[in-house]
Structure 1
């Protein structure tokens, strides 16, 4: 069993706390890291991967401070940053061989591992094609493969499904579920469905601090009774509702308009109904987004 303990972790840039006294414990499984841009997600991941040192606090792996573990800890890490660069003239196979050499892997073992991973991410048939000619989604899959080369015990994925089409995202989710039994996997994404599908717990972060950590049931349960649909045919009423309540969605039908809203008290409109919360509602409620989806 792997155990990562993050204790009183604070990272300060000037007068701003990018991370503010974070305390969480992670064990084997997938954790979704959810928050708006600038919330501190990337700073947290960079500290876990030792790319950034904390201003205060510490991170412990199986009871030992990662600062003292040095290279021993780094050999346990796999990391896919949001901005992932490749050598365009390398083939996928050559690029992974290059990364394997940087990680100090035995060439024979690396060759076998590369073949397995290329097959796993669906790139084996194009392994000799230049990466520069790959689509954005294919490049992300190369990135996922390089992060898995050393069979990491801690896998950090920053927006891993960016640029992937729905079929590729489904393949990615299956892959992550398949390998998560003996790994701590932290997955930061704006695609809520990715977290809903595979994360055993979600960590919600805003302005550098942890808002909530829990299972989907825990998080959705906290929203019970706060999500409603309101039906109306009056456009003026639509504007009034939008001004009074956080509106997640507006769906226009043939004869009426349905608004999905979040409120701690039941809205007083004729056709109002309480509904089961979704993760999209959670995101809107905690991160106070102003954008409304209209269909």
Structure 2
């Protein structure tokens, strides 16, 4: 399974483009979609989920073109977790998911088997008798993920699936997505770089509707090599001065001052040394200097 976007543009107003001539291919496995809020990630996923028609350009699932006559065939292959999802507040977790499974045409015995599996995988087994309105935001997010997984889609689209989760649950969800992606395609959209560093080897970076990068994580890291620096400052005033000149990605207080991580095309004019590039460094670099 692969999905191809060809020169996709989405315009909501005459001069406002949520997506601007975007082209890339989503292969099998977990594929990352990275960008700040407002980058166009949700618009792109709505296009891929057949909820929004592009103003121009084409989308193909394998060789099947996204057009209304093909939507029924395409939709059977898709699972989608949107950023905002309203489920049935007065149903229990299990009742809600059983109902959604029935709407998807999943046989009862098979639906029960899948629910048992995914409730355990998402740590919701002990909460399955709670009503949806009693759940925390993070729990509702996990229920939403199960509904997207329930029909075992060939193409799973997940928008910020780890929002509201504690670190341990984020790891469980990331691992679940990696397991699910074997033989399938998973589009994992987030602004949390750490989630993609732990799950995918290929990604696309968006900013203000434009594609800044599409390719391997390894190649993205190479782009930032020689542009990431560790600077050691003794006084806060030095740090403030550094921040005015350069892109500072992190600061850490030490016993003898502060360690500052700087992303810059050129070596900063203060004492510093090269740093090993992280995916976050590379993302900041391509977002601000390319």
TM-score in terms of structure 2 length: 0.94
Alignment size in residue pairs? 287
* Structure-2 separation of matches of 1:88 and 1:122: 20
- The 5 Å alignment of 1:115-264 reads 115-264=116-265
* Structure-2 separation of matches of 1:121 and 1:99: 17
- Tell me the residue number matched to 1:93: 94
Q: Does 2:27 align with 1:27?
A: yes
Q: Does the C-alpha gap of structure 1 residues 92 and 265 become closer, same or farther in structure 2, counting only changes over 3 Å?
A: same
Q: Does 2:281 align with 1:281?
A: yes
- Tell me the residue number matched to 2:37: 37
* Structure-1 separation of matches of 2:122 and 2:260: 40
Higher alpha-carbon deviation: 12-21 or 245-254: 245-254
Q: Does the C-alpha gap of structure 1 residues 125 and 251 become closer, same or farther in structure 2, counting only changes over 3 Å?
A: closer
Q: Does the C-alpha gap of structure 1 residues 246 and 100 become closer, same or farther in structure 2, counting only changes over 3 Å?
A: same
- Kindly report the root-mean-square deviation, in angstroms, between the aligned alpha carbons of the 2 structures: 1.6
Name the SS for the 1:273 alignment partner: strand
Q: Does the C-alpha gap of structure 1 residues 101 and 251 become closer, same or farther in structure 2, counting only changes over 3 Å?
A: same
Q: Does 2:121 align with 1:107?
A: no
User: Structure 2: where are the runs of 5+ without partners?
Assistant: none
User: Structure 1: where are the runs of 5+ without partners?
Assistant: 290-295
Deviation of 1:279 (Å)? 2.0
Deviation of 1:288 (Å)? 4.2
Deviations 1:232-274 (A, max 9, x none): 22443322211111111222222222221111111232x3101
Q: Does 2:9 align with 1:3?
A: no
Question: For the Cα contact (< 8 Å) 1:89–1:132, is it kept in 2?
Answer: yes
TM-score in terms of structure 1 length: 0.92
- Tell me the residue number matched to 1:292: none
